[in-house]
Amino acid sequence: MLIGLTSALLICFFSLMIIVGWRCKKHATDVNGFVLGGRNVGPWLTAFAFGTSYFSAVIFVGYAGQFGWNFGLASTWVGLGNAFIGSLLAWEILGRRTRIMTRHLDTKTMPDFFEKRFGSKGLKIAASIIVFIFMIPYTASLYNGLSSLFNIVFSIPYWVVIVIMAVLTAIYVIFGGYMATAINDFIQGIIMLIGIVAVILATIASRGGLQAAVAKLSEGVAKMPSGEELNGAYASFFGPDPLALLFVVLLTSLGTWGLPQMVGKFYSIKNEDSIKKGTIISTFFAIVIAGGCYFLGGFGRLFADSDAIKYKDGKILFDSIIPAMLSELPDVIIAIVIVLVLAASMSTLSSLVLTSSSTLTLDVIAPASKKEMSEKQKVGIMRLFILFFVAISALLAVLKDTLNLTFIAQMMGVSWGAMAGAFLAPFLYGLYSKKVSAKAVAASFAFATAMTVMQLLVSFKVFTFDPETVIGYIFKSSINSGVVSMVGGLILVPLISLITKAPEAKKVEAMFACYDQKVMTEVKMRERLEEK
């Protein structure tokens, strides 16, 4: 029954995705339509596109399992941070100003924004290189966890699952561009909302209800950073390691402010009223999905007896914790979860490959072309690069699984920190401050890249630091170094802007004039009569 039910749901899901992609072809005839949906996308589609790009299988399977195991129920703070910092504040602080200035400057990608805002082609090239290098391992990581989930139902090779997901995602993105991605993200978001609620209720019920599950979890003994053992830490308010928890919250929440695939959603939204509505919708979505995922992961230690979550040497296999929790649930819940995780992965993958292909085409290939490229040629090249990026991500995922290339998983950990560290401060200050210099932006890029390279060298044990020292703690994980990259950028950009040549005042004033434009609206006849 489980195989038949899951197969039926997957066939319906895949068919719907392709139909949407085909129907959206009419919106993808030029660059503006293919990349931004004609800058006319409503609040519901934009909010769900933002949320589904944010939360993938990496969150549901990997991070929820890992952080839930490490912090217990306190990992729920990560989900709440994602909702209120990564979604609510991101929309409030970046949404309106991003939409207005990117339209005013006619920018379609983040590297293009850096060139036009700061008057430097070098910044555009540097930003494009950073996106190209660090987006690929990010896309490859999206397949993590799918194998253990599908093995609950199907006895098929992992590479088959990867190929199916990659091919179907490529089809609807190539056909319909951003609009197809946004509509499918909305559908996938609905599936995710229904699925996560069903999973939480079923999992807690399988452990005797919420009170019994929390009571059982409180029996666990955790080792604190000081070395002291504390009973009940996994059911406590801040968990066994509050500082490590804070770093996780900051990276996964504040990081969205500097990720091209996330900020790009504000480029396409229709109007300011849509931003207000989208803020509420996106925050609600994040509370349910992110809060729900990490809350669920917090009960992972109740399944510690399962052999499925352990390597042969006894170490914990974090990607298998959530699948182990699900394996005991009713067939219909498992079938829904399979579709849920696939939907989460495909939505994020589509957003990443569209961002990568548009950046490479519009910011690198087109400017380097000796002849002016037509809109049709640009869209054609973007479609080819979508195919290329999907194929590369699938190949890396297969190689990682087949050859056990752990460096790909490690690269994913630094991808988020590298891009967020490089772009967050320049983009944020670029929207609000008239005094930011191009050299300050370059310094932010250089600092984040240097931190990332050092983190990789430490991860591969080329360098080692005493974990008791400050520098040792910073490079203890890609999470810590990623947070330092972001915070460092926020400090460096204004400081270096003070000691370097200020941008040309007239040009900057012309850019910021877009925020002073008045919006004229028609007055309804009834309102006119009431005034009389």
Task: Return the pLDDT at 151.
Answer: 73
- The total of structural domains in the chain comes to 1
Q: Which residues contact 136 (CB under 8 A, 6 or more apart)?
A: 356, 389, 392, 393, 396
CA torsion through residues 112, 113, 117, 118, sign = negative
**CATH for 111:** 1.20.1730.10
Per-residue pLDDT, averaged over 205-226, amounts to 84
Which of 224-238, 334-348, 350-364, 443-457 has the weakest average pLDDT? Answer: 224-238
Q: Which tokens is 334 given?
A: 């498992």
Place of tokens 């006849």: 525
Grade residue 344 by pLDDT with cuts at 50, 70 and 90.
Answer: confident
Tell me the CA distances in angstroms from 375 to 20, 25, 192, 362, 372, one per residue in order: 23, 15, 35, 11, 10
Task: Return the pLDDT at 319.
Answer: 75
Which of 150-159, 251-260, 498-507 has the weakest average pLDDT? Answer: 150-159
Query: pLDDT tens digit string along 163-196?
Result: 888 999 999 999 999 999 999 999 989 988 988 9
pLDDT of 153 strictly over 80: no
For 221, the domain range is 2-531
Please give the single-letter amino acid code of residue 13. Answer: F
Query: pLDDT tens digit string along 45-61?
Result: 999 999 988 887 778 87
Per-residue pLDDT, averaged over 211-225, amounts to 84
- Establish how many alpha carbons lie within 13 A of residue 309's alpha carbon, considering only the half-sphere containing its beta carbon: 23
